[in-house]
């Protein structure tokens, strides 16, 4: 039971930090003329992330457009599992190569495609499900190391948000 509470607390902390950022942004709004109403919106539409602190096997959750995004620095074992999966075994058929820009880095929305819970698997101590990726405890959906749904009621893979690599260790989401 406590395993379910910890990620939620982490998520609330991240959401609070993000709201703090939004609060700071809103202070700047009086300085933006009504001719430029899109500036604050643009600021929230994308976010840059420094990947360099993330060691192999570690994950990071960031908030983008109000939703958690999971960034995973995959181990060689996780990459190999994702690449060697028989596509005929998949519920929502997608090759790992179509879901990553760099094999080491997986970037997906951390929202279960069943009913929208935040799956477990971001912390090293989390349950990761039968396929070593993420496990949604709400109704038992298992995702693999590519964020693809493998078992349970979720119908689709964890979506890949739009992002670009700005350099080897920095990405921009959105």
**Active site members:** 139
Least distance (Å) between residue 10 CB and ligand FES: 17
Shortest Å, Cβ 119 to ligand FES: 7
Residues 99 and 40: their CA atoms lie apart, in Å, by 30
In contact, 153 and 168? CB cutoff 8 Å? no
- Which lies closer to ligand FES via its Cβ, residue 129 or residue 163? 129
For CA atoms 24, 29, 31, 32, the dihedral sign is positive
- State the Cα–Cα distance between residues 47 and 18, nearest whole angstrom: 11
- Cβ proximity to ligand FES: between 110 and 171 the closer is 110
What residue ranges bind ligand FES (CB under 6 A)? 112, 114-117, 136, 138-141, 152-154
CB of 107 to ligand FES, least distance (A): 20
CA 76 to chain centroid: 19
* C-beta closer to ligand FES: residue 140 or 174: 140
CA torsion sign for 22, 9, 4, 148 is: positive
């Amino acid at each position: 039971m406590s395993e379910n509470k910890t990620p939620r607390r982490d998520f609330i902390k991240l959401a609070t930090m993000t709201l703090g950022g939004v609060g700071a942004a809103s202070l700047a709004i009086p300085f933006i003329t009504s001719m430029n109403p899109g500036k604050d919106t643009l600021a929230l539409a994308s976010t840059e992330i420094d990947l360099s602190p993330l060691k192999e096997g570690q994950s990071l959750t960031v908030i983008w457009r109000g939703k958690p995004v999971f960034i995973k620095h995959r181990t060689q074992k996780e990459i190999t599992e994702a690449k060697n999966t028989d596509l005929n075994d998949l519920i929502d058929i997608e090759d790992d190569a179509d879901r990553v820009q760099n094999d080491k880095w997986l970037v997906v929305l951390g929202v279960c495609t069943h009913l929208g819970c935040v799956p477990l698997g971001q912390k090293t101590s989390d349950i990761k499900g039968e396929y070593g990726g993420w496990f949604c405890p709400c109704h038992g959906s298992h995702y693999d190391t590519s964020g693809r749904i493998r078992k349970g009621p979720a119908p689709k893979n964890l979506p890949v948000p739009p992002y670009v690599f700005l350099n080897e260790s920095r990405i921009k989401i959105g």
